[in-house]
């Protein structure tokens, strides 16, 4: 099912494949995101001493919600929402 989601929603990174490793791990291969993830952005803001701009927070929140709406319309539940 995940492979069919490729390039269908701009707020979901592209999934390529997954595989088991050493019988106890699951590895997921996704597209490379050169700007990092939301956690990287939060860390950079904190390091620079900047306060979060409400527009930036709204921008991130809308992207997250749009991605979740897309998944929920496909009857997919994401159970691990976090910035990392």
Q: Which positions ≥6 away from 23 have C-beta within 8 Å?
A: none
Helix, coil or strand: residue 50: coil
* Residues facing 17 on adjacent strands: 29
Catalytic residue check, 80: yes
Element containing residue 77 per DSSP (H, E): none
* Residue 5 · residue 16 · CB < 8 Å: no
Which is catalytic among the residues 18, 39, 53, 80? 80
The residues carrying an active-site annotation are 80
């Amino acid at each position: 099912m995940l492979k069919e989601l490729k390039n269908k929603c701009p707020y979901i990174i592209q999934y390529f494949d997954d595989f088991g490793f050493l019988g106890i791990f699951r590895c997921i291969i996704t597209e490379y995101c050169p700007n990092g993830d939301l956690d990287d952005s939060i860390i950079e803001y904190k390091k620079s001493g900047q306060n979060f701009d409400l527009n930036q927070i709204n921008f991130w929140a809308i992207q997250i919600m749009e991605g979740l709406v897309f998944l929920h319309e496909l009857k997919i539940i994401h159970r691990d929402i976090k910035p990392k």
